[in-house]
């Protein structure tokens, strides 16, 4: 009973920042959550706002093997739910081109087969969830800057306030010493995600802070997905595609480059 009470408390806490005010969900649902935007893939199940199931595929698992393991985890999630899902939530990008395609294909197939709604959860907003729920001593006007590695000094990034209102839109950015300069004059900014660490020597400012160990996880999709379900923000199962924010660059195999 104590554990359930604590879970309920944290769930309501995150719903508060997600919408700016506390609201009561009148359309609670069973939702399967799928996250594949980086090399850490995960699946979770929630019912009435509480997590029932959560599994992660290690980042060392790649390619077709990761796709097969994702399918296995989705099957386990369906068994754990013990009923058809009302919705399937999927991380919609930005992130790994291949990872996003695998996750979106899985989510759309499951939604179509279950006659469930499709919910898109922006990956950078998802990254903010564990930071907002974490025990970090931040000023009230602090800004959050999630970053996903896009190779070299480029990252997918955006800036949000602590109510997840966008301050800088999602974009692919090549980070240099002038990046975020104007915002850092007025705010403490907390940088996190797998693209942040490589940028911290370049973003050299007293108001720039780095938080380690933050990855997009399906278990953290719950409040964002429930909010979208409540607001009936659903996507077209047939036509919705991930938000890549960058053109895919195909690479030739090394043996072909030698010809």
The pTM for the full model equals 0.86
Residue 90, classed as helix, strand or coil, is strand
Task: For residue 254, count CB atoms less than 10 angstroms from its CB and return exposed for 0-12, middle for 13-18, buried for 19 or more.
Answer: exposed
Task: For residue 224, count CB atoms less than 10 angstroms from its CB and return exposed for 0-12, middle for 13-18, buried for 19 or more.
Answer: buried
Q: Which of 36, 35, 52, 54 is nearest to 44 (CA)?
A: 54
**β-strand partners of 54:** 44
Low-confidence residues of the chain: pLDDT under 70: 1-27, 60-64, 247-259
**Torsion angle (degrees, nearest 10) of CA 134, 137, 140, 146:** -50
Tell me the C-alpha distance between 25 and 203, whole Å: 41
**β-strand partners of 89:** 33, 119
Please, what's the b/e burial string for 129-157 (b: 16 or more CB within 10 A of its CB; e: otherwise)? bbbbeeeeeeeeebbbbbbbbbeeeebbb
For the chain, how many residues are written?
259
Task: List the structure tokens of 192.
Answer: 């996190």
Q: What is the pLDDT of residues 103-128, one digit of tens each?
A: 999 999 999 999 999 999 999 999 99
Looking at residue 63, its pLDDT comes to 62
Residue 35, classed as helix, strand or coil, is strand
Tell me the C-alpha distance between 33 and 81, whole Å: 12
């Amino acid at each position: 009973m104590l554990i359930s009470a604590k879970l309920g408390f944290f769930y309501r806490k995150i719903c508060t920042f997600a919408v700016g005010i506390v609201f009561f969900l009148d359309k609670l649902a069973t939702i399967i959550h799928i996250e594949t935007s980086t090399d850490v893939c995960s699946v979770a199940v929630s019912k009435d706002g509480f997590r029932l199931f959560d599994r992660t595929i290690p980042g060392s698992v790649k390619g077709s093997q990761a796709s097969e393991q994702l399918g296995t985890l989705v099957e386990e999630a369906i068994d754990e739910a013990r009923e058809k899902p009302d919705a399937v939530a999927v991380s919609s990008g930005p992130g790994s081109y291949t990872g996003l395609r695998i996750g979106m294909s899985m989510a759309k197939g499951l939604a179509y087969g279950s006659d469930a709604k499709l919910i898109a959860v922006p990956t950078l907003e998802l990254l903010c969830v564990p930071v907002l729920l974490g025990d970090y001593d931040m000023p009230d006007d602090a800004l959050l800057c999630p970053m996903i590695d896009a190779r070299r000094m480029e990252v997918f990034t955006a800036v949000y306030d602590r109510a997840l209102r966008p301050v800088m839109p999602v974009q692919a950015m090549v980070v240099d010493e002038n990046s975020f300069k104007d915002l850092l004059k007025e705010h403490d900014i907390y940088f996190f995600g797998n693209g942040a660490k490589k940028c911290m020597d370049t973003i050299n400012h007293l108001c720039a802070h780095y938080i380690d160990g933050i990855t997009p996880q399906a278990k953290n999709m719950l409040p964002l997905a429930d909010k979208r379900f409540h607001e009936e923000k659903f996507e077209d199962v047939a036509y919705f595609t991930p938000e890549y924010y960058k053109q895919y660059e195909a690479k030739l195999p090394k043996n072909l480059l030698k010809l």
